[in-house]
Structure 1
Amino acid sequence: MSIEVGSKLQGKVTGITNFGAFVELPEGSTGLVHISEVADNYVKDINDHLKVGDQVEVKVINVEKDGKIGLSIRKAKDQPRQSRPHSQRPRHKGNDQRNNKENFEQKMARFLKESEDRLSSLKRHTESRRGGRGARRG
């Protein structure tokens, strides 16, 4: 069985790096699952998702001329269709939108406070290294 783009295969994780995981495929070939192809959400640390020796299902997303094989775990999962008939779409009420707006405003207020705190801390630290305000020079 040759390795073709679009095919789904079972493999074993043989190595983990900060940029992805190496997976041994049938017939002894090895491919790379880039960190962006491990899960649907953001992956900060690949070790939270994979361990050496894990059996994983991967989809071949590219095979380069030099023999490098690009793999994806997230594309190998059977995903439900995204589009739904209009009648089955969730209906939103006015309250939901107002709550989302409040949540956004709360998040924005928290962000501004944290940002101001960081700036004041940085300013104090910088001024103390330069001698502060009104320090005499020379």
Structure 2
Amino acid sequence: MKTLQLLSLFAMILLSGCNNDDDNTNDTSLQGTWKLIEVNGTIAGIRHQFEPGTIQWNFNISNHTFTVVNNNTDDSKQDVFESGNYGYFIESHDVSPGTCNKNIFLEGVNYGCYSTTAASLQINQGEADGLILKFIR
């Protein structure tokens, strides 16, 4: 009987120690409206700048969506998404210290690492032909 109790106690300790980290984490630093001010990168080496407010992304972390309001009228500029509602998710991964440990997927496409401060957001695909998106609050 003591063996059964001991095994039960051991099982409870193991289960309570499990981490229920969901890869689809809510990063509260994303919440709210961001103004796209620059898109650069790709093999062509583009650098397109936008007046703050021309293109806005509003992240809603409770339902993993973001709304884009895109008022860019210059078709020669890469502005990523047209106006509309889109889904996103965050995927965490183990990497070396000092490197990105979270990727953001926009509409199912890996846009790479992202980082936030109180006033800025940067999304970086980190590939030779990828994009770097820069936002401000």
**TM-score, normalised by the number of residues in structure 1:** 0.24
Between Structure 1 and Structure 2, whose CA radius of gyration is higher? 1
Quick check: which one's helix share is greater?
A: 1
**TM-score, normalised by the number of residues in structure 2:** 0.24
